[in-house]
């Protein structure tokens, strides 16, 4: 018979919850932009991630090609943007039945407007791969391995090990700068 208390059993099953060691690093959402390019977005931008049926995105005429259309979430309407196409790659999410979408909030002041307001965007991507916790000093400043069209938007890169894909380089994207340069 086991004489462990509930707390002892939890401590045994989930040791990370009871660890005295402080975990460090910032959280980043890892996305697949293209078949070969992974991006990292600072989690502070991210409001939510969803899978949206294409019937829930309304086409809008006379907008740039990287605009998928208008979408809504939590009673707000905003643009859905193909993140790969916005970054200068061929469209990554054109005419899909469902869109993996990350809803991000970018301060209007980051878009060269002095305001306390925020703009929401739905970024459609090929895949949402998860969250990584990374120390700032782990990022490399070199953009040598990055595709040329995203050089100006890269804040750093890191070589990550994935159980399924092996080692793959991910690029930290300055999302506010990318969006403000295009919109």
Residue 6 lies in a domain: no
What is the CATH number for 108? 2.40.50.180
Say what the pLDDT of residue 19 is.
61
Least confident of 25-39, 102-116, 168-182: 102-116
Residue 16 lies in a domain: no
Longest dimension (CA), the chain: 71
The domain in which residue 92 lies consists of: 23-182
Cα separation of 68 and 124, whole Å? Answer: 8
| pLDDT, tens digit, 9 for 90 and up, residues 44-71 | 999 999 999 999 999 989 999 999 999 9
When divided into structural domains, the chain yields a total of: 1
| pLDDT, tens digit, 9 for 90 and up, residues 85-114 | 999 999 877 778 999 999 999 987 644 444
Residue 1 lies in a domain: no
Residue 108 lies in a domain: yes
Residue 4 lies in a domain: no
Say what the pLDDT of residue 22 is.
59
Residue 54 lies in a domain: yes
Say what the pLDDT of residue 163 is.
65
Strands in 95-178 per DSSP E: 98-107, 118-125, 127-134, 154-162, 166-173
| pLDDT, tens digit, 9 for 90 and up, residues 114-152 | 445 789 999 999 999 999 999 999 999 888 888 999 999
């Amino acid at each position: 018979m086991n004489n462990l208390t509930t707390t002892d059993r939890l401590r045994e099953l989930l040791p990370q919850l009871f660890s005295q060691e402080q975990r460090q690093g910032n959280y980043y959402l890892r996305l697949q932009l293209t078949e070969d390019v992974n991006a990292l977005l600072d989690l502070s931008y991210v409001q939510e991630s969803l899978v949206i049926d294409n019937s829930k995105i309304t086409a809008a005429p006379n907008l740039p090609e990287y605009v998928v259309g208008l979408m809504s979430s939590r009673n707000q309407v905003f643009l859905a943007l193909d993140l790969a196409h916005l970054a200068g790659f061929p469209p990554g999410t054109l005419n899909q039945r469902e869109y993996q979408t990350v809803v991000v909030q970018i301060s209007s002041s980051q878009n060269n407007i002095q305001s306390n307001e925020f703009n929401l965007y739905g970024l459609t991507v090929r895949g949402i791969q998860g969250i990584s916790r990374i120390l700032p000093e782990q990022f490399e400043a070199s953009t040598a391995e990055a595709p040329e069209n995203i050089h100006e938007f890269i804040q750093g890169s890191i070589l990550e090990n994935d159980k399924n894909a092996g080692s793959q380089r991910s690029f930290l994207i300055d999302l506010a700068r990318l969006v403000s340069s295009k919109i």
